[in-house]
Amino acid sequence: MIRSPLTLALLSLALAACSPVDPQQAVSSALTDGVLLPAYSSWAEANGQLAQSGQAFCADGQTLSDARQAFLAAQSAWAGLQPLQIGPLAEGNRAWQVQFWPDKKNLVARQVQALLKSKPALTPADLDKASVVVQGLTAYEYLVYDPTIDLANAEQKARYCPLLVAIGQHQRALAADVLERWQAKDGMAAQLQGFPNQRYAEAAEAVAELLRTQVSALDGLKKKLGTPLGRQSKGQPQPYQAEAWRSQASLANLAAGLASAERIWRGAEQDGIQALLGSERNELKERIDAAYSDTRQRLAALQRPLGELLGDQAGRGELNALYDSLNALHRLHETELANSLGIQMGFNAHDGD
């Protein structure tokens, strides 16, 4: 029987419509549109506002309180991006340019002072050539929060403002470049949605990397809590080793990172990694859901900043209970979820810390 080209084309379309969608590709695509791209766009927007804020503050058009709020928004957007740190942001030393932590030897303060001593008329080009230690949010936080810096003093403001403006511009340019690499025709978003491509041979590889990134970030949240708690220093609290100790935003950053990790699990429309577990894995789904809920509630229940909680036994007890909850959540992903999906975890970025 001879069929016309039109008939063959229609038959091909019908067969394509009837062919089952690869569930791995569906999850990777859904997470890209519903979680990843919105987070990268929000991060770029927050950094654009940070750059504008720095310029406005230094031109006496904004208060220090407003400048701090812009910083906190950019820092929160960055914290939420860490469980999604695949592709361009995980390459080319870019993440270190955003945040230098842990800062075990107060390098940020020392290098900021050394840079301004050598470059009193610092330009954005000077900063671009400088160390990552002074290019990012940790240095910005030092400038707007450290008690040794008085930006209400005109002389000090004149000294530190060129660096404040330069960091804001550096972060804006960095975030815009990363977002462009995501949105380009053959960029990161396209590579997570159509297979094979130059990065992934099949959708399963993309899902595996998404899970590994999420698991690594959960482990990183443990480190951000465990380091100041003294988990690596025989139980002796190390409050100045906390992330964002100057701005007292350590717990808010933890919450932002946790919420983002949970979005990878759930998806924007219940189409995240959990969608890959069949009905026979409902019990595991329920335990992971409960683990997220437990960690989230313990974190929300903390009524004092991290530094204050570290200062007494009751506070440390609450933080240790939160750490144990976070550890259980991390282990569920690293072992049972990964095993259920047939994904090998491999090297963890936080191993050996």
Per-residue burial over 245-284, b if 16 or more Cβ lie within 10 Å, else e, is: bbbbbbbbbbbbbbebbbbbbbbeeebbbbbbbeeebeeb
Q: What are phi and psi of 260, to 5 degrees?
A: -70, -40
Q: HSE (CB half, 13 Å, CA atoms) of 247? A: 27
Q: What is the pLDDT of residues 206-251, one digit of tens each?
A: 999 999 999 999 999 999 999 999 998 788 999 999 999 999 999 9
Locate 161 and state its tokens: 């403002």
For 129-178, give the DSSP string.
Answer: TS-GGGTSHHHHHHHHH-TT--TTSHHHHHHHHHHHHHHHHHHHHHHHHH
Which residue has 């100057």 as its token pair?
Answer: 246
Which residue has 């089952």 as its token pair?
Answer: 20
Q: What is the pLDDT of residues 121-178, one digit of tens each?
A: 999 999 999 999 999 999 999 999 999 999 999 999 999 999 999 999 999 999 999 9
> What pLDDT does 275 receive?
98
> What pLDDT does 3 receive?
53
From residue 46, how far is each of 220, 230, 236, 306, 332 by CA, in Å?
23, 32, 36, 24, 32
User: Which of the residues in the chain have pLDDT under 70?
Assistant: 1-20, 347-353
Fill in the amino acid letter for 59: A
Instruction: Supply the angle between the helices 282-301 and 313-331 in degrees, to the nearest 10.
Output: 160
CB 258, CB 221: distance < 8 Å: yes
38 upstream amide cis, omega within 30 of 0: no
Instruction: Supply the angle between the helices 37-58 and 64-81 in degrees, to the nearest 10.
Output: 160
> What pLDDT does 347 receive?
57
Going by the DSSP 8-state scheme, the letter that residue 110 receives in this structure is H
How many angstroms separate the CA atoms of 332 and 339, rounded?
Answer: 10
Residues 6+ apart with CB under 8 A from 220: 82, 257, 349, 350
CB 84, CB 36: distance < 8 Å: yes
